[in-house]
Amino acid sequence: MKGFLNRLRGVERDIIQMPVEDTAAGPYYEAQGNEIEIFEAAYKKRLPVMLKGPTGCGKTRFLEAMAWRLQRPLVTVSCHEDLTSSDLVGRFLLEGEQTVWQDGPLTRAVKAGAICYLDEIVEARTDSTVIIHPLTDHRRQLPLEKKGQEIEAHEDFMLVISYNPGYQTVLKDLKPSTKQRFIGIDFNYPNEDIERKILRNEVPELAEAQLAPLVAAGRRARTLKDHGLDEATSTRALVYAANMMAAGITPLEACKAALVSPVTDDPELAEALLEIIRAHFS
């Protein structure tokens, strides 16, 4: 109820939020393998975790679910190329005649014992990726260079980064010294049964007769990755397509809008994708 009202009002909330304890409100996540056990073990030993996997396969959803499961607040920072270390750690501000230090999201998470999630870390500048190093080994400290301080991390603090190997480029890659500090969990698109289950759960109003071909078509479309398709059809895209269908768009149009048009401008490739979709829905 509170969540609903907040959505209506657009309420400003602090980034450190304990998950709602109500069991019904837990984010839906369907395990694909042993990722939950691995994550829980890593959390138990407070080891930093790296989530690897293609776009739209459920990394962020997984983390939301885990934060809820472990009852820790989750602080998400989407990294971009202008993200500096002070954006993460904090900076001095002027207030009247004096200067005031303001903590950045990472510092706050470290203090509050939250799970800090640095999404798409490769996009961030190298100086910001390096400051997490002391946090990720036995020291578990965050140095505040400008203040000349160090913060010992809260005992519940955990650092999680996501890393999409597709974005691994000649120019942009995590430094090996950064990479090797993490426990890696590999994600991929879930298998067919799980994918169906996910869609059923996300879009309960979709007819079963449309669900199976949609999932099959999406999986078939994935085979064209590397044949001109940069990003394969994601589970998220399938959920979108299912939503469009549930909203009354014909399957073919819905798939075209959600699975084909966004991923390619190449007419022949689009035609091949449509051919797959048509085969499943004809």
Partner 1 sequence: MSSTEILAEIQQVLADLEKISFVAHRDTQSALGAIQPYGDETVLEWVKACKALFEHDRDAGKAFMRGSVAACGASNTVLPWTRQAMRFLAWRGSWKAVDGYMEQLPQAYRSLGFEGEVRWAELGLDWCERHLDSGVAYFRCPVLELEGGHGINGIEDVVLPSVELFGNRRLALGTYLSGAIRVRNLLGIEAVLPWAKRGADILQSGRLRGEAFFKLESEESMALLLENLPGFRIPEHQRLLQLVIYAWFGFNLDLLESKWSPDKGRAFVETDGVALYLPMALPDREEAMLAVLHATGHLKFHSYERRYIDALFRAAGREHPPLDAEQRITWRPLFAAYGDDMIRFQLIFDICEDTRVDEQIGRHIPNYRQRLLRAADAAAIVDGPAAAYFRWARDLLQWTIEGAPADPVFEPLRPLLSNDANIVDAFRIANELYKHTDLPAIALLARDQAFLPGRSPNAARPVYPRRMLDQAEFGTGLEDQEDVVKNQEIKPNPEQKQIPKHAAGEDPDFDIPPEETAGSGGRVGVGIPQPAHVLGYAKGAEYSEKGKPYAEWDYRDNRYKRNWAWVQEKTLTELDANEATRLLAQYAPALQRLKRAIQTQKPIRMAPLRRQFDGDELDLEASITYVVEKRAGMSPQANIYRQRVVQYRDTAVVLLADMSTSIMQACAEGGGKVVDRIRAAMLLFAESMEEVGDPYGLAGFASKYRDNVSYYTIKGFDETLTSHTRAVLGGLTGRLATRMGAAIRHAVASFDRAPSARRLLLILSDGRPADYDDGGDERYLHEDTRMAVKEAGDAGIHVFCITLDAAGSEYLPQIFGAGHYLVLDHINDLPKKLPEIYLRLRK
Measure the CA–CA gap between 149 and 3, rounded to whole angstroms. Answer: 38
Which of 6, 17, 34, 99 touches partner 1 by CB under 8 A?
99
Question: According to the binding rule CB under 8 A, does residue 146 interact with partner 1?
Answer: yes
Task: Provide the sign of the torsion angle of the four alpha carbons 196, 197, 201, 206, taken in this order.
Answer: positive
What x/- string results for residues 54 through 83 when contact with partner 1 is judged by CB under 8 A?
----------------------------x-
Angle between helices 59-70 and 35-44 (to 10 degrees): 50
DSSP, collapsed to helix, strand or coil, labels residue 78 as: strand
CB of 179 to partner 1, least distance (A): 17
Question: Which residues, 6 or more positions from 264, have their beta carbon under 8 angstroms from its beta carbon?
Answer: 228, 229, 270, 273
* Segment interacting with partner 1, rule: CB under 8 A, options 44-52, 62-70, 90-98, 245-253: 90-98
| Beta pairing, strands 49-52 & 158-163 | parallel
Question: According to the binding rule CB under 8 A, does residue 208 interact with partner 1?
Answer: no
Closer CB to partner 1, residue 28 or residue 167? 167
Closer CB to partner 1, residue 8 or residue 171? 171
Closer CB to partner 1, residue 2 or residue 146? 146
Measure the CA–CA gap between 242 and 228, rounded to whole angstroms. Answer: 25
Measure the CA–CA gap between 282 and 123, rounded to whole angstroms. Answer: 42
Residues of the shown chain interacting with partner 1 in the complex, contacts defined by CB under 8 A: 82, 86, 91-94, 98-99, 146, 166-172, 213, 216, 220-221, 223-224, 226-228, 230, 268-269, 271-272, 275-276, 279-280, 282
